[in-house]
């Protein structure tokens, strides 16, 4: 009688299910597909960006090449092609046509508007944020309501007030209304920025014995520099490009600003388009410089504010 010796059954490990393995591989493929799909380029967004860039650059290109044409070549050549005999004749003509006087008037009006606006708006915003009382709440409501009043709706009352004050046809006739319309937005922006300053800094200044005046200029003013530069650049560009107030509140050619200077190149039966574009280029150069300086100061101000 033969006996068969069998080894005892050892521990067996269940084989992984094909369905489970397939599902795992499927999930892996789906996840991998999602990752690859997320890395695809956004061709639609890039196309829209290039179209928008062309929309912005084509008018600038047209203005520059037109300013380098003579008045006769402007009507004889393709508007989008540069002239074969480009010349700076129009720039010389613009500079001879009292352009420096108009430029100086715009500088006086812009600086005379921006500097008082920044000082008054900053002090008002600091008082609204740090102070308390019914008067400050009412003042804040008045500033906010000023944002809802457009310039075009009150231009006739402003004209009558300027006439009564005997300021018509003077730089103050443009500066004072510009300050009044620039203060509400400036106060709103600066007040929101001052609210973000940690209260511990104000408390430490007060514990050191500093008064509100010293705290405002030694603490709040440096930390609010980014907002001050931003509002100053915005108000400066608004006044620099302003047309309605200089048109209504000035009369003599000696008080004209740059937007009104374009009328100099408009005749009774024709318009010197190359001269107009040359004056536009010359008047845009200070705006570009102001933006570059303001942007650089804005970045430095943000860095200084975060370091504190």
Domain boundary among 87, 109, 138: 87
Looking up residue 179, the CATH number of its domain turns out to be 1.10.3720.10
Domain boundary among 58, 87, 116: 87
138 and 58 in a common domain: no
Over residues 218-249, the pLDDT tens digits come to 888 988 888 888 888 889 889 998 889 999 99
Q: How confident is the model at residue 268 (pLDDT cuts 50, 70, 90)?
A: low
In a domain, 143, yes or no: yes
115 and 65 in a common domain: no
Give the DSSP letter string of 198-244: -HHHHHHHHHTT--HHHHIIIIIHHHTHHHHHHHHHHHHHHHHT--H
Over residues 86-130, the pLDDT tens digits come to 888 888 888 888 888 999 999 999 999 999 999 999 999 999 988
168 and 107 in a common domain: yes
In a domain, 33, yes or no: no
In a domain, 191, yes or no: yes
237 and 189 in a common domain: yes
Residue ranges of the alpha helices (H) in 68-170?
A: 71-76, 89-96, 99-130, 134-146, 155-164
Residue numbers of the domain that contains 68: 48-87
Instruction: Domain count for the chain, please give it.
Output: 2
Helix axes 89-96, 99-130, angle to 10 degrees: 70
Over residues 193-207, the pLDDT tens digits come to 888 888 888 888 888
190 and 257 in a common domain: yes
118 and 70 in a common domain: no
Domain boundary among 87, 112, 139: 87
Q: How far is it, in rounded angstroms, from Cα 280 to Cα 235?
A: 19
282 and 133 in a common domain: yes
198 and 127 in a common domain: yes
Structure tokens at 96: 């001879």
Over residues 38-69, the pLDDT tens digits come to 556 788 888 899 999 989 899 899 999 998 88
243 and 121 in a common domain: yes
First and final C-alpha spacing in the chain = 98
In a domain, 28, yes or no: no
CA angle 56, 278, 246 (to 5 degrees): 90
* H or E element at residue 283: helix 273-307
In a domain, 29, yes or no: no
In a domain, 12, yes or no: no
In a domain, 31, yes or no: no
135 and 80 in a common domain: no
Q: How confident is the model at residue 298 (pLDDT cuts 50, 70, 90)?
A: low
In a domain, 254, yes or no: yes
pTM of the model: 0.74
239 and 116 in a common domain: yes
Structure tokens at 217: 């200029």
106 and 77 in a common domain: no
Q: Which residues pair with 266 in a beta bridge?
A: 271
Q: How far is it, in rounded angstroms, from Cα 183 to Cα 122?
A: 9
């Amino acid at each position: 009688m033969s006996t068969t010796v069998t080894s005892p059954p050892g521990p067996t490990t269940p084989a992984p299910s094909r369905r489970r393995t397939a599902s795992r591989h499927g999930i892996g493929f789906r996840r991998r597909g999602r990752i690859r799909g997320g890395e695809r380029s956004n061709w639609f967004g890039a196309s829209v960006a290039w179209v928008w860039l062309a929309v912005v650059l084509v008018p600038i290109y047209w203005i520059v090449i037109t300013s380098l044409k003579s008045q006769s070549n402007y009507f004889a050549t393709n508007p989008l092609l540069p002239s074969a005999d480009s010349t700076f004749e129009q720039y010389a003509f613009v500079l001879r046509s009292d352009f420096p006087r108009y430029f100086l008037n715009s500088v006086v009006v812009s600086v005379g508007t921006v500097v008082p606006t920044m000082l008054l708006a900053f002090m008002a915003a600091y008082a609204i944020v740090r102070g308390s009382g019914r008067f400050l709440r009412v003042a804040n409501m008045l500033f906010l309501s000023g944002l809802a009043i457009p310039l075009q709706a009150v231009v006739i009352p402003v004209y009558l007030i300027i006439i009564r004050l005997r300021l018509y046809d003077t730089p103050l006739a443009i500066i004072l209304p510009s300050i009044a319309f620039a203060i509400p937005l400036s106060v709103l922006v600066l007040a929101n920025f001052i609210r973000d300053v940690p209260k511990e800094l104000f408390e430490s200044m007060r514990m050191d014995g500093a008064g509100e005046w010293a705290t405002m200029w030694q603490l709040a003013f440096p930390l609010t520099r980014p907002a001050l530069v931003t509002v100053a650049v915005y108000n400066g560009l608004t006044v620099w490009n302003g047309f309605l107030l200089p048109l209504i509140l000035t009369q003599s050619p000696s008080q004209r600003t740059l937007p009104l200077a374009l009328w100099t190149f408009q005749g009774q039966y024709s318009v010197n388009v190359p001269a107009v574009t040359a004056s536009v280029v010359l008047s845009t150069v200070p705006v570009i410089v102001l933006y570059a300086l303001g942007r650089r100061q804005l970045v430095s101000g943000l860095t200084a504010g975060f370091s504190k």
